[in-house]
Chains A and B, each alone.
Chain A
């Protein structure tokens, strides 16, 4: 936005031509709200580390000392980094290969890959992890049992290990890598590869010297994003790490808040460390993307690239795709379904089949908490999606379009919560709303705030990107025709933003339903959400009921996603 327009400080009103002053109230309020949401948890977190916690020694930095001189602190750091990096590498590997197969070849099952491959994204992480525990438990895991019947002497897989943690999270986020790398492949001009072909390079040489080199920034960027996300996940560390004795940051934060007396100071210090790590990671990422502007090969047109004909290899890659889909979607769902019909966990056998019952479903759905969890999750998801996109549109407008000075600062502040892992937001918000006289602690409102805080950056990014595509002149024409800001926003900007709003809103809807790491600290009586109910059932040892509830949930989510996709297809084929 390098226009030679004189900028003015943000508190001054912007004059509309020939109409006196009109105050863009809505975007200003939205920006204030976004800034407040982004900064308050961190400010109070820092405040908490300096002031709070009843740990021994009340000096200002006692918490910091305690955190870093505790035995095993270094090992925890090592574990966190290994786990996060390992899972990121696995996701990236799987996702990239699949993206290449999907975008650039005529592999068998292309379409199915896209549809089913997204399934893990909509499943709550708690459920996915639990399913894999059922599959890979050292003694009773179904996979291990199957291996034993095939003659393998000892159980080959033990999920209670760093490898197990990496496996589960790596699988869980591979669809994310798949989506991002698909977009990267799609945005690459295929002429770059074609010119290599006609210059005499075979497929291998082309991939090596051209494709991979051009993809390198995207690969690195996606790796960093995955790494940061894995650092902040909590489902796997809670369900697998703890029994395995492998501690990572998020688990340490959680443990510190559950000590007696609760050591919020310690939790805060670990949270800040995590925050620092993720910020560094994101900073490196943004630098990377900036440098690669010179690699930008797209002018917004889609490329109908040459599709590689795999010939006889189609069958092989097709089998690979099927295997992937089985591992990532069918196996976990199957084991949950299986377990949901049994009175207690049993491997498949004639005995087990005889014991099949619907009792678990009846019991699980008789709990008012389950119904409430469902209802709350839905309400929160819809509310979060709607509010997020509304606020995002306004804030994005402020950042991209308005002429106030310092709007880059707003951009930084508003998108900064991307660096905050969910559990850090949780701890921060606890401090915030126990200190501030706003009585939302323990209610759905604090969960709403947590979700807004987490997801606003994504909405703002999406709207910002969409806004830069919409020419400023479209709005100027509206202004010159006499429209106030409100009219212009409602009748010009919002309708043009509709695709971004819908896409962003749908994404946020889905991830809100599965949010866990903030919810687990912030939920309260009558304010429980799905993922927490599942976690609680698991912790109570009610494995069968978790499976029943989980299976029903999966079925519901899949149906919902299918409905969305089908409606979307209809829209695409017959627009308007």
Chain B
């Protein structure tokens, strides 16, 4: 009998001890919107107490680890870690966790669409960072839910051994030429690309374009970065769904890949937001400040990313400048996701079959 009681008591104790403390979460909006002059000291003191930070992001490990290291060099008392997966998966994780009342994420940094999903669930809380002042209005949420940190530019990447620079496509219409039959690869879930162009061109032109593109015998591969690697390896000659920063990275390593701008370039912004029940709000705000500061943005730029800060140039600068780009409003995309998804499946994946 005594043994049973002991076992039950231990189990109960274990369960209780892992319940998250309540006090911290109530503070999150307060911390997030704190604007007084001693903001920095308050945040640092709070972060010292908290001691850790959990970032949910789609940055690859290659980029996230140096970024976190840089942040930790600045604030050595914060142990920063990342939960990394593809942007859809991370969004899903946060949503699932919040639905299950598990509050693990401190900062969320995702593509506009996926952050939009997170926001729609009511997970985000507005924040005020002095660093966001530098950003144009189009790069910020009017209510203060998110700020843009970087952007993925979708360009036409091609293997330089299979395609001479002169033969590379110069416009979207070039992709419809018969010589690209069976040679173009698309990313498996790039509905946002279709949606952005659809939005820009209007239904008539868009429908016709995508129907014809779908009949080009498209190959499908999953993952934008993987796609770039495959092009560099020679597996597929060409794709309009390559992130230009990724192609540039590979090019720098000596891989036979290059990229060409197709007008208009579809830009997929990546934004940062604060979950409303973050466990370490002080550390979270410090990180958000850092990500938005020119220092943090410079770290990202050095890693080859197209950054959003207007005064921090990308490296090389032509990654983010010199072409026209379009973005679709996340809310609009999300609300019409089924429509765009059906188009995607019907016109491109199944090729009108």
Contacts and interface: CB of A to CB of B under 8 A. Distances in A.
Q: A and B touching (C-beta < 8 Å)?
A: yes
Interface of A: 25, 29, 137-140, 242-243, 245, 257-258, 260-262, 343-346, 355, 363, 366-369, 430, 433-435, 437-442, 524-526, 536-543, 545
A138 B82 contact: no
Contact of A538 (B56, B226, B227, B253): B226
A542 B225 contact: yes
Contacts of A139: 234-236
Interface stretch (B88-96, B131-139, B142-150, B305-313): B88-96
Nearest to A364: B61
B225 A140 contact: no
B220 interface: yes
B258 interface: no
Interface in B5-48: 7, 15, 18-20
Contacts of B230: 140
8 contacts: A25-B4, A262-B92, A433-B100, A442-B97, A525-B54, A525-B56, A541-B60, A542-B61
The 9 closest A-B pairs by CB, nearest first: A541-B225, A434-B100, A525-B83, A345-B233, A541-B226, A540-B60, A344-B255, A140-B235, A439-B18
Interface string B215-240: 00000111111111110111110000
Given A140-B235, A439-B102, A536-B85, 16 more contacts: A242-B188, A260-B88, A260-B92, A260-B334, A344-B255, A345-B232, A367-B61, A369-B61, A369-B82, A433-B100, A434-B96, A439-B18, A439-B19, A540-B60, A541-B223, A543-B233
B92 A434 contact: no
A434 B224 contact: no
Nearest to A357: B253
A536 B104 CA distance: 20
Given A29-B7, A363-B62, A441-B102, A257 B235 contact: no
Contact of B223 (A366, A439, A524, A539): A539
B207 interface: no
Contacts of A29: 7
Given A140-B235, A439-B15, A430 B82 contact: no
Contact of A258 (B92, B99, B349): B92
Contacts of A261: 95, 117
Given A344-B229, A441-B100, A242 B222 contact: yes
A439 B14 CA distance: 10
Contacts of A366: 65
B82 A525 contact: yes
Nearest to B255: A344
Nearest to A538: B226
B173 interface: no
B336 interface: no
A366 B334 CA distance: 37
Interface in B64-120: 65, 81-86, 88-89, 91-93, 95-97, 99-102, 104, 117
B83 A524 contact: yes
Contacts of B222: 242-243, 539
A344 B232 contact: yes
B96 A430 contact: yes
Contacts of A25: 3-4
A433 B97 CA distance: 10
- State which size class the interface on B falls in: 35 or more
A440 B65 CA distance: 26
B220 A245 contact: yes
Given A258-B92, A368-B65, A430-B96, A542 B60 contact: yes
A258 B86 CA distance: 11
Contacts of B56: 525
Nearest to B104: A442
A45 B19 CA distance: 25
B337 interface: yes
A243 B81 contact: no
Nearest to B66: A366
A368 B85 CA distance: 15
B246 interface: yes
B349 A245 contact: yes
A524 B229 contact: no
A298 to B, nearest CB: 43
A138 B99 CA distance: 43
A372 to B, nearest CB: 9
B250 interface: yes
A355 B254 CA distance: 10
Nearest to B114: A260
Nearest to A29: B7
A260 B91 contact: yes
A262 B114 CA distance: 12
A346 B253 CA distance: 13
A125 to B, nearest CB: 18
A542 B228 CA distance: 10
A129 B17 CA distance: 42
Nearest to B337: A260
A537 B61 contact: yes
Contacts of B82: 369, 525
Contacts of A138: 235
Given A140-B235, A344-B255, A243 B221 contact: yes
B102 A541 contact: no
A260 B334 CA distance: 9
B235 A539 contact: no
B234 A258 contact: no
A260 B102 CA distance: 19
Nearest to A359: B253
Contacts of A257: 92
